[in-house]
Structure 1
Amino acid sequence: MASDKKIVLVTGANTGLGYEIIKALYQTDIPYEIIVGCRTVSKGEAAIAKLRAETTSPSPSSLTTLQVDLNSDASLESAVDTLTSTYGRLDILIHNGGGSFDTEVRAGRMTLRDGFNATWDTNVSGTHVLTTLSVPLLLKSSDPRLLFVTSGTSSMAETEAQNKRPSLQRLNDPPPAGWPKPQTGMALTMYRAVKTGLNMLMRDWTRQLKNDGVKVWCISPGFLATGLAGVGAEKLREMGAMDPALGGQFVRDVVAGQRDQDVGKVIRATEIQPW
């Protein structure tokens, strides 16, 4: 079924930043076919019902769910098959789906190796597989866009900028001498290392698709009060985290073309993130 609307797939779209992305797109005047990628279809359907209830004005966009499990090749292949048979193309792919398992390791619920492998598999391997499968559909778009959601904690340059802003000081100040180190603050070692790897994946996809006209970015949405770090939204707000809606609006603006001059970069809402 061909559509005149821009067809956009958002992974991990039923909660957190993903939900705010689909909300920002749905509540704009630009018509989109918004595909809510989620591991559990019922959760995606619940997110759609919530979004419709929160939207007072009629939207020109459509909403549908699609089962997308980044840890399952079969799920990703089935998802792309569905996109192919239903739409025949994909205009925008937003890789928001991911996970952080540092707290699981800290709590003893996962081994260090299992936690690191799960973090990499969810955030990078699954993302790379889905991108690879989706490229033929993106190349059928007149304005294809590929967005990878990364993290402000992934900047290698800013690991040395300890006094630039309080959030960096919390991340990069060294702990006291001795071993084991105290388990204080947010557990992010694996997550930030993997997101740095995702930045390199974005650079390589920028290279591969440069002559195909695909616009590629990493989106660094800022310190948002989501549940990703296992700390809880309220605690994150106390630490200075922003409303996740701001991240959704930022992604919406990139989709609409407001950062086309910054393709191939890791971008924040107001600047380019240092490597």
Structure 2
Amino acid sequence: MNNPIVLITGANTGLGLEIIRALFRSFECYTIILGSRSITNANLAIEQLQVEYPNSETKVSPVQVDVEDDESMQRAFDYVTKNFGRIDMLINNAGGQFDQYMYSGSLTMREMWNKSWNVNTTGTQILTHTFVPLLLKSSSPRLLFITSGTSTLAESKNPALPINHPPEKGWPKTRPSISAYRASKTGMNMMMCEWARVLQADGVKTFCVSPGFLATGLGGDQERNRQMGAIDPAIGAELIREVAEGSRDQDEGVIVRRDGIQPW
């Protein structure tokens, strides 16, 4: 397989699927491994892509993988090892925002915080650790983590961002926050720094990519996100493709966003 082999987690919908579309639009030809918690949903996404890009030389294959399930990740590793032998790029896209489930009463505060970190940080760490041996078989390995603009400590008090506005005096606070999501993505940023350090001598180009506020189903309400000013997820996906294809290599080891570098 001479084409770059790309594994993308959480890729059957939302930003993950848009990343695949961006790679299909590229002048480069890829072999894409579409990771999804559900193999049925993965196959449905592939059928959709085949309709959209019937003549493309880029190929896409499904793999079932759930970042909350260690056995699932090991099975995915075994499958990719047997069928592909290496990966040239790992895009850690799988993630979730779960704060709203605490406010709705479907998760306790502890359950919601633990799930936020388990999916966005711990699960991503374990998946990366699992697949590093295949990444190191590449002659040009790349490791990408999809982070959030809400994760920056330096801009956490920027009043231009509505999410930073303090709520009114009194308790309990009636305006929901996404504190757990923000904290878990900030943790991911440090995790990326550690992977950049650990894999530096191996020549792995490592990045966080902050694609912007996107009109996806993150948080459970795509239309609400759009009404709040979220942009087309294809725009964020194009940034990720640019990083994947080397246009931001001067920014290796930091958090890349469209207008430059996201401050820590």
| Smaller-chain TM-score bracket | over 0.9
- Structure 1 residue 246 displacement after superposition: 0.7
Q: Which residue matches 1:173? A: 165
Structure 2: segments with no counterpart, 5+ residues: none
Counterparts of 1:234 and 1:126 in 2: how far apart (Å)? 28
Deviation per CA, 1:31-66: give whole Å up to 9, x if none.
11101000000101111111222236x212111100
What residue number does 1:34 align with? Answer: 32
Where do residues 41-60 of structure 1 align in structure 2 (5 Å cutoff)?
41-55=39-53, 58-60=55-57
Aligned to 1:269: 258
What whole-Å deviation, never above 9, does each CA across 1:59-78 have from its counterpart, x for those lacking one? 12111100010000000011
What is the rounded CA distance, in whole Å, between the counterparts of 1:222 and 1:183 in structure 2? 22
CA-CA distance at 1:30 after TM superposition: 0.8
Gaps of 5+ in 1: none
Q: For residue 182 of structure 1, what is the aligned residue in structure 2?
A: 174
Between the aligned partners of 1:63 and 1:32, the Cα distance in structure 2 is 8
1:254 to 2:243 alignment: yes
1:4-83 pair list within 5 angstroms: 4-55=2-53, 58-83=55-80
2:137 to 135, 140, 154: 140
Give the match for residue 224 of structure 2. 235
SS at match of 2:169: coil
State how far apart, in whole Å, the 2-side matches of 1:87 and 1:49 are. 21
**Aligned pairs, number:** 264
One-letter amino acid of the structure 1 residue matched with residue 96 of structure 2: G
Matches of 1:238 and 1:119, distance apart in 2: 24
Q: CA separation of 1:61/1:31 partners in 2, compared to 1, >3 Å: closer, same or farther? A: same
User: Superposition pairs for residues 202-241 of structure 1, below 5 Å?
Assistant: 202-230=192-220, 232-241=221-230
Structure 1 outlier segments of 4+, above 4 Å: none
- 1:259 shift after superposition: 0.6
Q: Is the 8 A contact 1:29 1:59 kept in 2?
A: no
Superposition pairs of residues 86-97 of structure 1, within 5 angstroms: 86-97=83-94
Q: Distance in 2 between matches of 1:92 and 1:206?
A: 14
Task: Give percent identity, aligned residues only.
Answer: 50
Tell me the TM-score normalized by structure 2. Answer: 0.98
Q: Identify the range of structure 1 (234-243 vs 206-215) with the bigger mean alpha-carbon deviation.
A: 234-243
Q: Which amino acid is the alignment partner of residue 104 of structure 2? A: A
CA distance in 1, matches of 2:188, 2:154: 16
User: Structure 1 CA distance, aligned partners of 2:40 and 2:246?
Assistant: 32
Give the partner amino acid of 1:198. Answer: M
Q: 8 Å contact 1:30–1:60 — kept in the other structure? A: no
Contact 2:167 2:175 in 1 (8 A): no
Alpha-carbon distance in 2 for matches of 1:49, 1:27: 17
* Alpha-carbon shift at residue 156 of structure 1 (Å): 0.5
Q: Distance in 1 between matches of 2:226 and 2:69?
A: 33
Decide whether the 8 Å contact of 2:147 with 2:185 is kept in 1.
yes
